[in-house]
Amino acid sequence: MKMAGIPFGTTDWSAVPRTVHPGETGTAYWRTCQFDAIRVRMVEYTPGYLADHWCSKGHVLLCLEGELETELEDGRKFLLKPGMSYQVADQAEAHRSRTVVGAKLFIVD
């Protein structure tokens, strides 16, 4: 990820419009800002959320609230709790998210 051409700025996430993204079960709510080629999101998953697809996009993800289980396509699973993060490169390892209790995440990709 190369960050260029982005002046200093602050983001009031409560003022960023929320979009709805249904999962296989549950719902994801995204607040998204685009800075050149960098997408920055505040994402909330409802309890019982399961992604409806395997994702191969790279991310840096920080769990702010709740718990997030990330499953890799090869079957490995990782549980993130508040203060934990993961990072994965584009096209490196397909993954999908689920949560039993809900989660709030900060994601850069």
* pLDDT in the model for residue 1: 66
Predicted TM-score (pTM) of the model is: 0.91
Q: Tokens 């991310």 identify what position?
A: 59
Per-residue pLDDT of the chain (109 residues; tens, 9 = 90+): 677 788 899 999 999 999 999 999 999 999 999 998 899 999 999 999 999 999 999 899 999 999 999 999 999 999 999 999 999 988 999 999 999 999 999 999 9
Q: Tokens 């960050």 identify what position?
A: 3
Delimit the domains of the chain by residue range.
35-108
Q: Could you tell me which residues come within 8 angstroms of residue 81 by beta carbon, excluding any fewer than 6 positions away? A: 63, 67
CATH of 35-108, one of 2.40.50.100, 2.60.120.10, 1.10.443.10, 3.40.50.620: 2.60.120.10
Q: Tokens 């699973």 identify what position?
A: 77
* pLDDT in the model for residue 4: 79
Rounded to the nearest 5 degrees, what angle is found at the Cα of 52, between the Cα atoms of 102 and 29? 45
